Structure 1
Amino acid sequence: MESAGPIVNGDKPFRLAEVALCAVATIATGLLYGRFFASIGYLPTVCAAALAGALIAAVAGLRRWRMVRTLLAAVAGFVVLAVYGVFRGTLYYGLPTGSTASELARAVFDGWVRLFLVAPPADVRPDLLITPVLITWIAAFTAATLAVRTRNVLAPIAPVLVAFVLALLYLGKQPGVHLTTTVLFLTAALSLMLLRTVRLGARSERDRRAMTSKLLFGLPAVVLIAVPAVLYGQTSPLASGEQRFDPRTLRPPPVRIIDTLTPLARLKGQLREQPPRRLFTVRVTGERRPDRIRLAALNRFDGVSWTSTDQFLVAGRQLATDPALTNSRTVSAHITIEDLNGPFLPTLGWPRQLDIAQPGEEPVGFSTTSGVLVSTLRSLRGVEYDLVGQLTDHDEGLLRAAPTTTPDYRGYTDVPEDMPPLLRALAQQLTAIETTPYGKLTAIEEHLRALPYQVDALSGHSYAALVRLLTRTSAGYAEQNASAFAVLARAAGFPARVAVGYKLDDSPDGSYTVTTRDAHAWAEVHFDGYGWVVFEPTDTSQDASETPDRPTVAPRPAQPPVAQQPPAVRPPQTPPRSGSGQNEGLVEAAFVASVPTALVVLLATMITGVKAHRRRRRRRARGNAARVMGAWQEAADRLTERGIPTSGSLTASEIAAHAVGTLGDAANPLSELAPLATMAVYARDEPDDDEVHRAWQLEAQLRRQLYPRRFSVRRLRARLDPRPVIAGWRQAGQLGSHRDDH
């Protein structure tokens, strides 16, 4: 890496200011994780990583430490911060233990992937916190090192920008414009560019005295660039999170459940159990008393059965909320499972908080698209947990609300292409009179509630079963009614799904004992501002009452339309499932490898860039003697890449002789270049232009003879060899120490 030049007293305050701006820009990237973690408990450690990393780099750079010493200080500083800032729970009387070392090592190597396995907002756990701390430390240390040791204006911004992009990848599709973070990052980055441009452009003491006025003149330009960028970020389609890339979609879900039979098909079996079996108890606190509790949400219909395509991430105590659910009430409940078969956990509305004790390493899974919770335990017997949920507030605004049309919910309007014409015609007939979306859905609901209810009806919810129900050739129960509502709603263009769970009877004290007799299914439609709104298409007057808090609607016709018998329904074909486990594994492996690959590419780019910039400076050095010595130094770098020592204790002729003896005729140009370098150092007169030109011709001839092939592995390896860069740092450190001694 190229030295930034001697440090004079006038430069040191400005270099320290650059280091401070590097730390501020890195802290801005750390603020992004505020949308990943559920609390700000992560922030002090991340800020400490940015400040400490930049400070160590500044001390090492200003004191001209060798790079090995600098890296050791950086690693030691990170370990101390990780032990006492992240894994302090493993300490014994303030001292690290074997558990500290093992957990730290495991978290450093596995934490990159674990952040993609949890559903934001995540708990601030050491195994999740260590990766943001490590990214912040590397970014701050690298940025400050480049600020102190190089003259490239943009170099210190690169590592902070990489950290910013990594944080955005971990956030995925979390909504928000990150206004504070954007303002802080842009202001620090642009100010750093301005300060370095002015400082590095100062050639004389007079220029240095004018630096303050130039900086004040450039500050308005920083504002003019930052303000439009922030305004664009607030209005950009990416601000909502809908069009952002989420790497979690590229990998298989970390929590998988084996549930070959759709929960809707189990409904009849539970209703017919005699005597009814106790499943779980619910104790609700709060003013709002729910009338149902959900197990599963089914979003895919193939004409034969309803299934779920949910992907489950590891759930923490805080759960991701439905951004569309703004009109809601909060309800809290304590649930104790007695004899409920897994894997689904009962939930009230959209779960927001979960406090559950899972034995061992068995995680709880959460679907951020459906609000469904699952457990990986083989048996749920005895499981207890506290749940806070959001229930839709059925107010008058729901009468005028619009169904959600964002891309995430377009799949909830899909129906198979071979849908019987009877169903589509009936959906149009029922919704033709009403003018509001809620009114159209209520028309479908009331038509289905008028149909006969019979638990002993034939099971199944295929197209054929729905046609029999709607033509009144046979009675139905909740399985068919809920499926019919969802199909008719989708045919009318509404995002609908089928929910499976249990009814909750009226309770004066908020305590419920749920049995198999309470098993039920209903339909839900997603509305802007109200989330998933419950519709009850089944009239079980002997078991349940009307849904409370339902908005009033216009009167319905006295005689609902009756569907006519359609032609024979062709059995639908289930579309093949896309993808395979092997492809998913390849995608996962490719993604896991992307982070270290990016770091390797970044390191290689830095090495080649430093070498190219150093060569350009040597050719443009002031004075012919410096240019001749620049050619010799470039030749010495080529020898270093081949493992030939170029110690300062050897003369140029001795180095040339050793190189010819080792490399043979390929090193012959050194025999002619060595006298030119010696004369440039010791001669009384400056070399003329012809001698400078000849020196660089010999250096180019040496490179051609060492690597005659334009493209070869040896040539590429030499370009990426960091030894000449490290040798340059070591030489600069020795020169700095020599100046300090004198």
Structure 2
Amino acid sequence: MSAPTVPPTATTPASGRPPGAPAWTSLLAPLASGIAVLLAGAATGAVVGGGAWVWHAAAAVALVVVTGTVLVRVRPWLAAPGQLAALVLLVTGWFTDSGIAAVLPGPTALGELGTLLRQAGQEIDTGLPPVAPTTAILLLVTLGFGTLAIAVFGLAVTVAAPAAAGVPLLVVFAVPTALQSELLPWWSMVAAAAGYGVLLLLRPDRLRQAPGGVAVVVVATVGALLAGLAAGAVGTAGRFDAAGGAGSGADGSIGLNPFTSLHGQLTRDEPRELFRVQGLQRTTYLRALTLQTYVPQEGWQAGRPAPGVPLTGPLPPSTSGPAAEQTVQVENLGFRDYWLPVFGDPTAVGIESESWAYDASGGIAYSERPREEDGWTQAMRLPEPSADQLRGASGPVTVDRTYFDTAGVDPRVAAIAQEVTSGAATPFDRAMAIENHFTGPGSPFTYSLATAPGAGGDALVEFLTRGRTGYCEQYASAMAVMLRAVDVPARVAVGFTAGDEGGSGRTITTEDAHAWVEAWFPGYGWMTFDPTPLADGRTVQPGYVEQAQEQQGGTPAQQQPPTPEPSAAPPPPAEGGGGAPEPPPGADPDQPGATAGAGSWWLPAVAGAVLLLAVLLTALVPGWWRRRQYARRAGLARAGGAGAATAAWDEVLAASRDHGVPVPPGDTVRGAAARIIDRHGLTGRPAQALQELAERVEASWYGDVSPEPGTLDTLVDEVRAALAAGGSSLRATMLPPSVVPESVRRKRSAPDDEPSGEDAGATDPADAGHR
């Protein structure tokens, strides 16, 4: 009697192939798990530059697959711990110079890895895709792909549940979406679908079904392709909060920190052209969005725009008083976002799409989904009040009180603002005093993309009192809060400077990304102030600011020293500031919400990875224990002798329980066999095999007729194969009922479902399976 082909959920041994199958087929499932991870992670190529990440990902996945394939044959439970150890040895030897014997992770090597992971976190926070394949990013890619390969291998191979392995395959999108501020390409969906199809299809017990399986996978992949083309892409950046739609007035938020994008644009290795503008007679800032909410220690946050009017229709003015009229043409060279940047106070925007709305109170043009328009025209008002007019501005406050909010701000900030403006009699003079505090002659503040390190206190206080070094984010954030502290409504605007003049118009690039302050005055509206001490000619000073500076006897912007290069070291901190070393260019202790512990995100990430592995091991243990039971019983049944019948019968009862039909302990052997045949719908040869097995068990127990070697194991395999053919739930695969402790089973099962004996369905001639 030949051994049948058996699905791995029922009878596949630790070798990974059904009985009688060629030895090479045991490599199919491990190979499929590796291919699936690499295909699902193909989207990483959209966010990490170059091809180095491919080799690092492939090396990590190959090491995990090979290690797991070897260990699962020795002891299945060793696979995941062994794979994790191999991955640690790989990254230690590859990314550190201080490993013991080059690959063993000692304290120094672990410190190096921790530093690289922190650096990777900083590069993610400040980078724009495609990010450079730095050592830190490649370490993150290697660990990410390696860890996910361990999870997929454990589910698809160790416990033979390839369908469940689709869950960790989704996690492989975590690295691309963490780095991608735009949307991932459609082909990432196709690759993921194809990888999952390979995982399900490339199995020893499915080779005969390969033609049909390939057809199903092709249809699913084509479906993913069509869905990808319809959706355009997948990603996370800048997405509105799901609570309410645009225009609903819900207090939602966007997913991308505007300052993260701002810093990332300024630190790009190669500037990227974004817009070309023609007809701009007087330079002014190009505003993308405004920020009205300040959260201490977290910074300025972008909220959902107020209900707007169609951008293609008449636009309500947000300023009043004297103004110059201009019309410009904007050509989009590479900008895609939820925000359509506008100059000044727009009065009309000529654009083909009707998907845009305009919030006059925030000065924001926005859409419900990111768009990339070819170009548009814009008519605008550029306010031209004089300094004296703004000094005399008076009237009722019609702006939202949110623009005065300083709740939770450190009292020291208010004290500094009051001291700086102590001699200013009007809101305009207070605004000028605060701007001159940052840009005036003798100011200790300097511009640099490498901000000065903090000491773990309030980030805003640190910047104002000790660091005094930063870029536009820090200056605009500080001035807006200080204005509010002296009762001047203020907000932060994020966008671009006017760029550089050329033969075909002004070109605006990522280097022109900028943040500034807008203060509100009764009768005039929102007026621009820029406290960033730039000296490269990009600062736009409105006429009223220049007039006020002339009245004060100087033009501070012209008296500033040359702007430090982004990589230049900031000046020493003020007295008492200590000698803390300068952080790398990506480090930004004054980033809103940053403290001395910021950037240590890798600690919870590592803890999460350990937890994931712990959960994975917990999920693997029951399945491994069930396989161990089968191997032990099958060995006893195959050997024949006194214990063969009991072992064979215990395995049949356990298999029946695993597939939903427990046998009450009071049933006789023949009654139990009849119950299994009836409840599982066995017919033909499987039913005959079970009846024959029952007769041999009775002969052994009651007639002292010991089975001959090799007479029971094939009967058991035939019955198990038939039971498995009826289907197996994920719970039965991951947590087989036959390995649940008896006390737990009694609490969760009905009385007639309670098993007895050592294992589920275990029988003894004295109390179970017979009378």
Q: Same fold (TM over 0.5)?
A: no
TM range (shorter): 0.3 to 0.5
TM-score by length of 2: 0.43
TM-score by length of 1: 0.44
